[in-house]
């Protein structure tokens, strides 16, 4: 009996094991088939035809029309508002001459002044509303305010009129600006770096502990050493042609014209005395300060050089050499003399230390 039970148990185990194996094989084959089908569906889904089919006429029309719309003059052409001077898209402007607007609200006293040509001319405000005469457009915001009889917040007549830059004050180099400035807040060290072909310049400005106010302009030439220093680095000493590219030359006629205009038209210059004697002392073919020369074989700063930059030199090869203005601030500089500041500035630049720079375009932007 026991032998028979043992034999049946072994037969059952063998039969059960065989059925399990068959089930596993069957399940594995089913899984492989389902997985293969899913892979084929995915491949079919991401399959792309190459070359692609031609664009439909509708899609071609849509692409062309959107391009024409985005590049049409209406999308980017701007003009200024005569009331506030803000640049606005032409599509958002209205022609002022075709509108029946009462501009009396823009007539204000003490905001504008007619330019004086000679000392005998009287001080007088511009007659009529204060607007930009060369413009005939008005923006929606100004139109809405004036229609309600209110002064637009950004209107030129709301104390924001500065007028156009007169020709006497246009294109003043840095040295000329120093000569016509009545208050000197800073002391500046200019470093010009020259290579064999290219030239670049930096200016480091230190705050003056006590601002200097002048009643006579231009100041004597020897006083310029107190507010300006010039350091030149390069393979050889600067030549006359090098000086002509640096914005530190003084043109007597330009400085005199600027001072005369300011005395006639600027309220802070009405009591100024113009010294033509001092002006004649300034040289016109070289900077008005002593030039410190330091020999250097390169005018590139490793810190600001890109990895893929293969140029041997940096800067401009022809024409005026603009300079970037930097600033160094701190109480430790307020008690130091100009010679010490020159040494600090030169060491700061030659050691390629980090500097926060603020670039300025040569022409100011209109309001």
For residue range 231-260, list pLDDT tens digits in order: 888 888 888 888 888 888 899 999 999 999
Domain regions of the chain by residue span: 73-160, 167-303+312-358
Distances (CA, A) of 46 to 39, 137, 312: 11, 55, 50
Confidence of residue 9 (pLDDT cuts 50, 70, 90): low
> Which residues share a beta bridge with 125?
none
Half-sphere exposure of 34 (CA within 13 A, CB side): 6
Q: Which two tokens stand for residue 248?
A: 């530190």
Angstrom distance (rounded) from CA 234 to CA 299: 7
Q: At 190, is the pLDDT very low, low, confident or very high (cuts 50, 70, 90)?
A: confident
By residue count, the chain amounts to 367
- Of 4-13, 16-25, 219-228, the least confident: 4-13
| Structure tokens belonging to residue 17 | 């094991």
pLDDT of residue 276: 93
**4-13, 107-116, 305-314: least confident range:** 4-13
Q: Is the pLDDT of residue 27 over 50?
A: yes
The pTM is what?
A: 0.65
Query: Residue 95 contacts by C-beta under 8 Å, 6 or more apart in sequence?
Result: 136, 137
- pLDDT value of position 359: 45
Render pLDDT for 37-60 as a digit per residue (tens, 0 to 9).
777 776 666 656 677 788 899 999
Between 31 and 367, where is the model more confident?
Answer: 31
Kindly list the distances between the CA atom of residue 4 and the CA atoms of 11, 18, 317, in Å, as whole numbers in the listed order: 11, 21, 110
How much is the pLDDT for 147?
92
Q: How confident is the model over 282-314, as pLDDT tens digits?
A: 998 888 888 888 887 766 665 556 566 666 677
- Distance (Å, rounded) from C-alpha 67 to C-alpha 72? 8
Region 197-224 average pLDDT: 83
Mean pLDDT for 258-278 is 92
pLDDT at 162: 76
Identify the CA nearest to 108 among candidates 127, 123, 121, 93: 127
Mean per-residue pLDDT over the chain, rounded = 79
Whether the pLDDT of residue 117 is over 80: the answer is yes
Percent over 90 (pLDDT), the chain: 25
What is the tens place of the pLDDT at every residue in 313-360?
Answer: 777 778 888 777 665 555 555 566 666 766 776 666 666 555 544 445
Please tell me which residue, 189 or 63, carries the higher pLDDT value.
63
131-170 pLDDT, tens digit per residue, is 998 899 999 999 999 999 999 999 999 888 877 889 999 9
């Amino acid at each position: 009996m026991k032998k028979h039970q043992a034999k049946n148990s072994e037969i059952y185990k063998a039969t059960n094991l065989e059925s399990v194996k068959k089930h596993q094989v069957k399940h594995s084959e089913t899984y492989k088939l389902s997985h293969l089908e899913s892979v084929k569906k995915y491949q079919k889904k991401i399959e792309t035809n190459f070359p692609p089919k031609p664009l439909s006429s509708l899609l071609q029309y849509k692409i062309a029309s959107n391009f024409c719309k985005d590049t049409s003059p209406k999308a980017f052409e701007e003009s200024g508002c005569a009331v506030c001077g803000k640049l606005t898209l032409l599509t958002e402007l209205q022609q002022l001459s075709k509108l029946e607007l009462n501009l009396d609200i823009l007539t204000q006293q003490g905001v504008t002044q007619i330019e004086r040509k000679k000392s005998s001319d009287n001080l007088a405000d511009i007659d009529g509303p204060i607007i930009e005469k060369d413009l005939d457009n008005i923006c929606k915001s100004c139109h809405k305010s004036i229609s309600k009889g209110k002064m637009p917040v950004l209107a030129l007549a709301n104390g924001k009129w500065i007028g156009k830059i007169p020709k006497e004050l246009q294109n003043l180099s840095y040295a000329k600006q120093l000569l016509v400035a009545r208050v000197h807040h800073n002391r500046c060290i200019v470093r010009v770096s020259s290579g064999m072909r290219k030239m670049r310049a930096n200016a480091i400005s230190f705050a003056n502990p006590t601002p200097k106010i002048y009643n006579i302009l231009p100041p004597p030439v020897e006083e310029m050493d107190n507010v300006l220093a010039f350091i030149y680095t390069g393979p050889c000493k600067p030549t006359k042609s090098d000086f002509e590219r640096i914005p530190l030359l003084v043109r007597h006629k330009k400085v005199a014209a600027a001072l005369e205009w300011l005395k006639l038209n600027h309220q802070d210059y009405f009591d100024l005395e113009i010294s033509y004697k001092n002006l004649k002392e300034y040289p016109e073919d070289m900077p008005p300060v002593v030039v410190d020369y330091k020999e250097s074989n390169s005018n590139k700063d490793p810190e600001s050089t890109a990895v893929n930059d293969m140029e041997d030199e940096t800067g401009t090869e022809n024409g005026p050499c603009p300079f970037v203005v930097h600033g160094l601030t701190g109480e430790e500089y307020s008690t130091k003399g100009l010679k010490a500041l020159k040494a600090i500035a030169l060491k700061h630049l030659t050691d390629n230390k980090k500097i926060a720079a603020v670039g300025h375009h040569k022409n100011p932007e209109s309001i």
